[in-house]
Protein backbone atom coordinates (compact mmCIF):
# COMPACT_ATOMS: atom_id res chain seq x y z
CA UNK A 1 0.00 0.00 0.00
CA UNK A 2 3.07 2.21 0.34
CA UNK A 3 2.05 4.12 3.45
CA UNK A 4 4.36 6.83 4.54
CA UNK A 5 4.96 9.25 7.38
CA UNK A 6 7.21 12.29 7.35
CA UNK A 7 8.99 13.51 10.48
CA UNK A 8 8.82 17.28 10.77
CA UNK A 9 10.05 19.61 13.45
CA UNK A 10 12.54 22.32 14.19
CA UNK A 11 16.23 21.69 13.84
CA UNK A 12 17.55 19.81 16.89
CA UNK A 13 14.20 18.51 18.12
CA UNK A 14 15.31 14.90 17.64
CA UNK A 15 13.89 13.83 14.27
CA UNK A 16 16.97 11.94 13.15
CA UNK A 17 17.31 10.35 16.59
CA UNK A 18 13.69 9.15 16.46
CA UNK A 19 14.11 8.05 12.85
CA UNK A 20 17.01 5.89 13.99
CA UNK A 21 14.96 4.50 16.85
CA UNK A 22 12.11 3.60 14.49
CA UNK A 23 14.24 2.11 11.80
CA UNK A 24 17.39 0.99 13.64
CA UNK A 25 19.00 2.16 10.44
CA UNK A 26 21.89 3.74 12.26
CA UNK A 27 21.75 6.81 10.04
CA UNK A 28 23.91 9.53 11.52
CA UNK A 29 22.39 12.40 13.44
CA UNK A 30 23.46 16.01 12.73
CA UNK A 31 23.62 15.57 8.94
CA UNK A 32 21.55 18.70 8.36
CA UNK A 33 21.42 18.20 4.64
CA UNK A 34 20.28 14.89 3.29
CA UNK A 35 17.10 13.02 3.71
CA UNK A 36 16.70 9.58 5.20
CA UNK A 37 14.07 7.19 4.02
CA UNK A 38 13.34 3.75 5.40
CA UNK A 39 10.68 1.10 5.18
CA UNK A 40 9.90 -0.56 8.51
CA UNK A 41 7.75 -3.51 9.47
CA UNK A 42 4.78 -2.43 11.58
CA UNK A 43 5.16 -4.10 14.98
CA UNK A 44 2.09 -6.11 15.89
CA UNK A 45 1.96 -8.01 19.17
CA UNK A 46 -0.71 -10.36 17.76
CA UNK A 47 1.68 -11.82 15.21
CA UNK A 48 3.82 -13.85 17.67
CA UNK A 49 0.62 -15.54 18.91
CA UNK A 50 -0.43 -16.34 15.35
CA UNK A 51 3.03 -17.82 14.79
CA UNK A 52 2.52 -20.07 17.85
CA UNK A 53 -0.75 -21.32 16.46
CA UNK A 54 0.07 -21.72 12.76
CA UNK A 55 3.84 -22.38 12.90
CA UNK A 56 4.23 -20.82 9.44
CA UNK A 57 7.32 -21.09 7.26
CA UNK A 58 7.20 -17.39 6.54
CA UNK A 59 5.90 -14.19 8.20
CA UNK A 60 5.19 -10.97 6.34
CA UNK A 61 4.49 -7.78 8.28
CA UNK A 62 2.72 -4.67 7.06
CA UNK A 63 5.12 -1.87 6.25
CA UNK A 64 5.34 1.83 6.75
CA UNK A 65 7.73 4.20 5.05
CA UNK A 66 9.31 6.82 7.31
CA UNK A 67 11.01 9.92 5.95
CA UNK A 68 13.34 12.16 7.92
CA UNK A 69 13.99 15.56 6.45
CA UNK A 70 16.46 18.18 7.71
CA UNK A 71 15.18 20.62 10.32
CA UNK A 72 13.01 23.57 9.62
CA UNK A 73 13.72 26.86 11.25
CA UNK A 74 11.72 30.06 11.10
CA UNK A 75 11.71 31.55 7.65
CA UNK A 76 13.26 28.55 5.95
CA UNK A 77 10.47 28.62 3.37
CA UNK A 78 11.26 32.18 2.40
CA UNK A 79 14.97 31.44 2.69
CA UNK A 80 15.97 31.03 -0.97
CA UNK A 81 13.33 28.44 -1.44
CA UNK A 82 15.29 25.95 0.66
CA UNK A 83 12.36 25.30 2.96
CA UNK A 84 10.12 24.68 0.02
CA UNK A 85 12.57 22.23 -1.42
CA UNK A 86 12.84 20.46 1.94
CA UNK A 87 9.10 20.33 2.30
CA UNK A 88 8.85 18.96 -1.23
CA UNK A 89 10.23 15.70 0.18
CA UNK A 90 7.12 15.23 2.28
CA UNK A 91 4.53 16.27 -0.32
CA UNK A 92 3.50 12.69 -0.89
CA UNK A 93 3.44 11.34 2.66
CA UNK A 94 0.16 10.16 4.15
CA UNK A 95 0.73 11.71 7.58
CA UNK A 96 3.09 13.98 9.45
CA UNK A 97 4.81 13.15 12.71
CA UNK A 98 5.40 16.48 14.50
CA UNK A 99 8.43 16.04 16.72
CA UNK A 100 8.38 18.53 19.58
CA UNK A 101 11.43 19.05 21.76
CA UNK A 102 10.57 18.53 25.42
CA UNK A 103 13.90 17.11 26.63
CA UNK A 104 15.61 20.32 27.57
CA UNK A 105 13.11 21.64 29.98
CA UNK A 106 14.19 25.23 30.54
CA UNK A 107 14.69 26.30 26.97
CA UNK A 108 11.67 24.85 25.26
CA UNK A 109 8.44 26.36 24.17
CA UNK A 110 6.43 23.56 22.56
CA UNK A 111 3.52 25.79 21.62
CA UNK A 112 5.76 28.22 19.77
CA UNK A 113 7.66 25.36 18.08
CA UNK A 114 4.43 23.82 16.81
CA UNK A 115 3.24 27.21 15.54
CA UNK A 116 6.55 27.66 13.74
CA UNK A 117 6.12 24.37 11.92
CA UNK A 118 2.51 25.23 11.09
CA UNK A 119 3.59 28.56 9.62
CA UNK A 120 6.21 26.90 7.42
CA UNK A 121 3.63 24.48 6.10
CA UNK A 122 1.10 27.25 5.52
CA UNK A 123 3.56 29.45 3.62
CA UNK A 124 4.40 26.53 1.35
CA UNK A 125 0.69 25.68 0.88
CA UNK A 126 -0.30 29.26 0.08
CA UNK A 127 2.35 29.28 -2.63
CA UNK A 128 1.11 25.98 -4.06
CA UNK A 129 -2.46 27.33 -4.18
CA UNK A 130 -1.28 30.60 -5.68
CA UNK A 131 0.41 28.66 -8.49
CA UNK A 132 -2.73 26.68 -9.20
CA UNK A 133 -4.93 29.79 -9.14
CA UNK A 134 -2.60 31.62 -11.55
CA UNK A 135 -2.57 28.64 -13.89
CA UNK A 136 -6.38 28.36 -14.01
CA UNK A 137 -7.29 32.04 -14.04
CA UNK A 138 -7.74 32.29 -17.80
CA UNK A 139 -9.72 29.09 -18.11
CA UNK A 140 -11.95 30.15 -15.20
CA UNK A 141 -13.32 33.06 -17.25
CA UNK A 142 -15.03 30.71 -19.70
CA UNK A 143 -15.86 27.75 -17.47
CA UNK A 144 -18.16 27.78 -14.47
CA UNK A 145 -16.69 24.67 -12.83
CA UNK A 146 -13.17 25.95 -13.12
CA UNK A 147 -14.28 29.31 -11.71
CA UNK A 148 -15.72 27.47 -8.71
CA UNK A 149 -12.51 25.49 -8.28
CA UNK A 150 -10.45 28.68 -8.34
CA UNK A 151 -12.81 30.35 -5.86
CA UNK A 152 -12.46 27.38 -3.50
CA UNK A 153 -8.67 27.46 -3.72
CA UNK A 154 -8.73 31.16 -3.01
CA UNK A 155 -10.88 30.68 0.08
CA UNK A 156 -8.49 28.09 1.46
CA UNK A 157 -5.55 30.35 0.69
CA UNK A 158 -7.13 33.32 2.45
CA UNK A 159 -7.78 31.23 5.55
CA UNK A 160 -4.15 30.03 5.49
CA UNK A 161 -3.04 33.64 5.37
CA UNK A 162 -5.20 34.28 8.39
CA UNK A 163 -3.21 31.58 10.16
CA UNK A 164 -5.57 28.61 9.99
CA UNK A 165 -3.92 25.39 8.84
CA UNK A 166 -5.94 23.57 6.19
CA UNK A 167 -6.60 20.58 8.48
CA UNK A 168 -8.45 22.92 10.86
CA UNK A 169 -10.48 24.73 8.21
CA UNK A 170 -13.41 22.29 8.27
CA UNK A 171 -13.26 22.08 4.50
CA UNK A 172 -16.33 20.88 2.65
CA UNK A 173 -16.06 17.85 0.39
CA UNK A 174 -16.14 20.20 -2.60
CA UNK A 175 -13.25 22.28 -1.24
CA UNK A 176 -11.26 19.12 -0.58
CA UNK A 177 -11.77 18.04 -4.17
CA UNK A 178 -10.82 21.51 -5.45
CA UNK A 179 -7.49 21.51 -3.59
CA UNK A 180 -6.84 17.78 -3.96
CA UNK A 181 -4.07 17.95 -6.55
CA UNK A 182 -2.21 20.56 -4.47
CA UNK A 183 -1.36 17.91 -1.89
CA UNK A 184 -1.47 20.53 0.85
CA UNK A 185 0.96 19.85 3.67
CA UNK A 186 -1.15 21.52 6.33
CA UNK A 187 -4.09 19.29 5.36
CA UNK A 188 -2.24 16.08 6.20
CA UNK A 189 -3.15 14.22 9.39
CA UNK A 190 -0.76 15.00 12.22
CA UNK A 191 0.43 12.89 15.13
CA UNK A 192 2.38 14.72 17.82
CA UNK A 193 5.53 13.24 19.33
CA UNK A 194 6.77 14.85 22.53
CA UNK A 195 10.46 14.00 22.69
CA UNK A 196 11.32 13.73 26.39
CA UNK A 197 14.57 13.04 28.25
CA UNK A 198 13.18 10.30 30.49
CA UNK A 199 9.95 8.91 31.90
CA UNK A 200 10.23 11.43 34.75
CA UNK A 201 8.98 14.00 32.22
CA UNK A 202 5.97 11.98 31.07
CA UNK A 203 3.62 14.54 32.56
CA UNK A 204 5.78 17.65 32.50
CA UNK A 205 4.11 21.01 31.77
CA UNK A 206 5.65 20.90 28.30
CA UNK A 207 4.26 17.46 27.56
CA UNK A 208 0.88 18.58 28.84
CA UNK A 209 1.04 21.56 26.54
CA UNK A 210 1.69 19.34 23.50
CA UNK A 211 -1.09 16.98 24.57
CA UNK A 212 -3.63 19.78 24.85
CA UNK A 213 -2.70 21.05 21.39
CA UNK A 214 -3.12 17.54 19.99
CA UNK A 215 -6.44 16.99 21.74
CA UNK A 216 -7.77 20.36 20.62
CA UNK A 217 -7.59 19.10 17.05
CA UNK A 218 -8.80 15.58 17.86
CA UNK A 219 -5.36 14.15 17.33
CA UNK A 220 -3.05 12.18 19.61
CA UNK A 221 0.21 12.81 21.39
CA UNK A 222 2.79 10.17 22.14
CA UNK A 223 5.71 10.80 24.48
CA UNK A 224 8.95 9.17 23.37
CA UNK A 225 12.42 9.05 24.92
CA UNK A 226 14.06 9.48 21.56
CA UNK A 227 17.68 9.16 22.56
CA UNK A 228 17.25 6.21 24.92
CA UNK A 229 15.11 4.36 22.45
CA UNK A 230 17.58 4.97 19.63
CA UNK A 231 20.23 3.36 21.82
CA UNK A 232 18.01 0.43 22.73
CA UNK A 233 17.14 -0.17 19.11
CA UNK A 234 20.82 -0.90 18.51
CA UNK A 235 20.68 -3.86 20.92
CA UNK A 236 19.80 -7.42 20.04
CA UNK A 237 16.01 -7.89 20.26
CA UNK A 238 16.34 -10.32 23.24
CA UNK A 239 18.24 -7.71 25.24
CA UNK A 240 15.80 -4.88 24.72
CA UNK A 241 13.10 -5.67 27.32
CA UNK A 242 15.57 -5.58 30.22
CA UNK A 243 16.90 -2.15 29.24
CA UNK A 244 13.40 -0.83 28.66
CA UNK A 245 12.45 -1.94 32.17
CA UNK A 246 15.50 -0.22 33.62
CA UNK A 247 14.33 3.01 32.03
CA UNK A 248 10.87 2.51 33.47
CA UNK A 249 9.32 1.69 30.11
CA UNK A 250 7.13 -1.37 29.70
CA UNK A 251 7.51 -1.52 25.98
CA UNK A 252 9.22 0.43 23.28
CA UNK A 253 7.18 3.52 22.49
CA UNK A 254 8.07 2.93 18.85
CA UNK A 255 5.43 0.22 18.62
CA UNK A 256 2.87 2.56 20.20
CA UNK A 257 3.96 5.30 17.85
CA UNK A 258 3.65 3.27 14.69
CA UNK A 259 0.28 1.87 15.77
CA UNK A 260 -1.00 5.36 16.58
CA UNK A 261 0.08 6.53 13.13
CA UNK A 262 -1.95 3.64 11.74
CA UNK A 263 -5.02 4.72 13.69
CA UNK A 264 -4.49 8.31 12.64
CA UNK A 265 -4.45 7.21 9.01
CA UNK A 266 -7.68 5.30 9.50
CA UNK A 267 -6.02 1.97 8.78
CA UNK A 268 -6.48 -1.49 10.18
CA UNK A 269 -4.68 -4.81 9.88
CA UNK A 270 -6.15 -8.14 8.92
CA UNK A 271 -4.43 -11.47 8.45
CA UNK A 272 -4.17 -14.43 6.18
CA UNK A 273 -2.71 -17.35 8.06
CA UNK A 274 -1.72 -20.94 7.39
CA UNK A 275 1.22 -23.33 7.55
CA UNK A 276 2.85 -21.64 4.61
CA UNK A 277 2.61 -18.07 5.75
CA UNK A 278 1.22 -15.59 8.27
CA UNK A 279 0.71 -12.36 6.39
CA UNK A 280 -0.41 -8.99 7.76
CA UNK A 281 -2.43 -6.91 5.31
CA UNK A 282 -3.57 -3.33 5.55
CA UNK A 283 -6.80 -1.69 4.50
CA UNK A 284 -8.82 1.37 5.42
CA UNK A 285 -11.36 1.30 8.23
CA UNK A 286 -14.72 0.78 6.59
CA UNK A 287 -13.38 -1.08 3.55
CA UNK A 288 -15.74 -3.82 2.44
CA UNK A 289 -14.62 -7.41 2.00
CA UNK A 290 -13.95 -7.29 -1.78
CA UNK A 291 -11.84 -4.14 -1.44
CA UNK A 292 -9.82 -5.68 1.38
CA UNK A 293 -9.45 -8.86 -0.69
CA UNK A 294 -8.16 -6.69 -3.52
CA UNK A 295 -5.22 -5.72 -1.30
CA UNK A 296 -4.10 -9.32 -1.51
CA UNK A 297 -4.75 -9.81 -5.22
CA UNK A 298 -6.84 -7.94 -7.76
CA UNK A 299 -8.38 -11.25 -8.93
CA UNK A 300 -9.73 -11.75 -5.42
CA UNK A 301 -11.59 -8.46 -5.71
CA UNK A 302 -12.95 -8.95 -9.23
CA UNK A 303 -13.88 -12.59 -8.65
CA UNK A 304 -14.90 -12.22 -5.01
CA UNK A 305 -17.43 -14.80 -3.82
CA UNK A 306 -17.23 -14.70 -0.03
CA UNK A 307 -14.93 -14.23 2.91
CA UNK A 308 -14.53 -16.76 5.70
CA UNK A 309 -13.62 -14.91 8.84
CA UNK A 310 -12.30 -15.79 12.27
CA UNK A 311 -11.93 -12.98 14.79
CA UNK A 312 -8.48 -12.78 16.35
CA UNK A 313 -9.91 -12.94 19.85
CA UNK A 314 -11.95 -16.06 19.02
CA UNK A 315 -8.83 -17.77 17.68
CA UNK A 316 -6.95 -17.00 20.88
CA UNK A 317 -9.88 -18.10 23.05
CA UNK A 318 -10.39 -21.44 21.28
CA UNK A 319 -6.78 -22.06 20.33
CA UNK A 320 -7.15 -23.35 16.78
CA UNK A 321 -9.17 -22.81 13.62
CA UNK A 322 -10.82 -26.22 14.07
CA UNK A 323 -11.89 -25.39 17.62
CA UNK A 324 -13.31 -22.05 16.48
CA UNK A 325 -15.29 -23.86 13.78
CA UNK A 326 -16.61 -26.44 16.28
CA UNK A 327 -17.77 -23.60 18.51
CA UNK A 328 -19.64 -22.17 15.54
CA UNK A 329 -17.64 -18.93 15.66
CA UNK A 330 -16.34 -18.99 12.11
CA UNK A 331 -18.29 -16.55 9.99
CA UNK A 332 -19.14 -16.44 6.32
CA UNK A 333 -19.35 -12.88 5.10
CA UNK A 334 -20.48 -11.39 1.82
CA UNK A 335 -19.67 -8.38 -0.31
CA UNK A 336 -21.05 -5.80 2.09
CA UNK A 337 -19.03 -6.97 5.12
CA UNK A 338 -16.73 -4.32 6.60
CA UNK A 339 -13.45 -5.96 7.51
CA UNK A 340 -12.53 -5.57 11.21
CA UNK A 341 -9.11 -5.08 12.75
CA UNK A 342 -7.63 -8.50 13.56
CA UNK A 343 -9.82 -10.54 11.23
CA UNK A 344 -8.20 -13.73 10.00
CA UNK A 345 -9.63 -14.24 6.55
CA UNK A 346 -9.86 -16.82 3.83
CA UNK A 347 -11.17 -15.60 0.50
CA UNK A 348 -13.24 -17.64 -1.92
CA UNK A 349 -13.10 -16.22 -5.40
CA UNK A 350 -13.46 -17.36 -8.99
CA UNK A 351 -10.25 -16.88 -10.93
CA UNK A 352 -10.57 -14.93 -14.20
CA UNK A 353 -11.29 -17.08 -17.28
Ligand X SMILES: Nc1nc2c(ncn2[C@@H]2O[C@H](COP(=O)(O)OP(=O)(O)O)[C@@H](O)[C@H]2O)c(=O)[nH]1
| Residue ranges that bind ligand X, judged by CB under 6 A | 9, 11-17, 29-30, 71, 103, 195, 197, 225-227
- The entry of ligand X, Mg ion, none near residue 13 (CB within 5 to 8 angstroms by kind) is ligand X
- The entry of ligand X, Mg ion, none near residue 40 (CB within 5 to 8 angstroms by kind) is none
**Helical H segments across the chain, by residue range:** 15-23, 47-54, 82-88, 110-142, 144-161, 173-179, 205-216, 226-232, 240-246, 253-264, 289-296, 298-302, 312-318, 321-326
Kindly give the pairing relationship between strand 221-224 and strand 267-273.
unpaired
Residue 12 or 303 with smaller CB distance to Mg ion:
12
CB of 45 to Mg ion, least distance (A): 30
Residue 15 or 46 with smaller CB distance to Mg ion:
15
Residue 11 or 320 with smaller CB distance to Mg ion:
11
- The entry of Mg ion, ligand X, none near residue 237 (CB within 5 to 8 angstroms by kind) is none
Residue 30 or 106 with smaller CB distance to ligand X:
30
CB of 183 to ligand X, least distance (A): 23
CB of 196 to Mg ion, least distance (A): 18
- Alpha-carbon gap, residue 124 to 202, rounded angstroms: 33
- The entry of ligand X, Mg ion, none near residue 227 (CB within 5 to 8 angstroms by kind) is ligand X
CB of 15 to ligand X, least distance (A): 3
CB–CB of 180/120 below 8 Å?
A: no
Q: How far apart are the first and last CA of the chain?
A: 27
- The entry of Mg ion, ligand X, none near residue 212 (CB within 5 to 8 angstroms by kind) is none
Residue 69 or 273 with smaller CB distance to Mg ion:
69
Q: CB under 8 Å to 98, separation ≥6 — which residues? A: 8, 9, 114, 117, 190, 191, 192, 193
CB–CB of 222/192 below 8 Å?
A: yes
State the greatest distance between any 2 C-alpha atoms of the chain, in Å, as a whole number: 69
Find residue 273's DSSP bridge partners: 278
CB–CB of 183/90 below 8 Å?
A: no
CB–CB of 41/104 below 8 Å?
A: no
Q: What are phi and psi of 289, to 5 degrees?
A: -50, -45
Residue 11 or 234 with smaller CB distance to ligand X:
11
Residues 2-31 that bind Mg ion (CB under 5 A): 15-16
Residue 295, SS3? Answer: helix
Residue 38 or 197 with smaller CB distance to ligand X:
197
- The entry of ligand X, Mg ion, none near residue 12 (CB within 5 to 8 angstroms by kind) is ligand X
- Alpha-carbon gap, residue 125 to 338, rounded angstroms: 35
Residue 194, SS3? Answer: strand
CB of 13 to Mg ion, least distance (A): 9
- The entry of Mg ion, ligand X, none near residue 110 (CB within 5 to 8 angstroms by kind) is none
CB of 340 to Mg ion, least distance (A): 38
Nearest residue relative to Mg ion (C-beta): 16
Residue 182 or 261 with smaller CB distance to ligand X:
261
CB of 195 to ligand X, least distance (A): 5
Sign of CA dihedral 58, 59, 65, 68: negative
- Alpha-carbon gap, residue 353 to 341, rounded angstroms: 32
CB of 5 to ligand X, least distance (A): 15
Positions touching Mg ion (CB under 5 A) are: 15-16
Amino acid sequence: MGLSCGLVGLSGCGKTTIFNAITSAGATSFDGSEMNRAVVGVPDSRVPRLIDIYKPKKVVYATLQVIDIPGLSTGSTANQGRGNKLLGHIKDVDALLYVVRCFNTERNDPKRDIETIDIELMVADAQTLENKIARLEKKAKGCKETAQEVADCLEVKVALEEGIVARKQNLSQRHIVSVFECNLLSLKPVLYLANIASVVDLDSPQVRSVRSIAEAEASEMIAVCGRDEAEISQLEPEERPEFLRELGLLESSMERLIRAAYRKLGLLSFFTAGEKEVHVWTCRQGDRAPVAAGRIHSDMESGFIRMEVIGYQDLITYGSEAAVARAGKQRIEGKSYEVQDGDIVFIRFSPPK
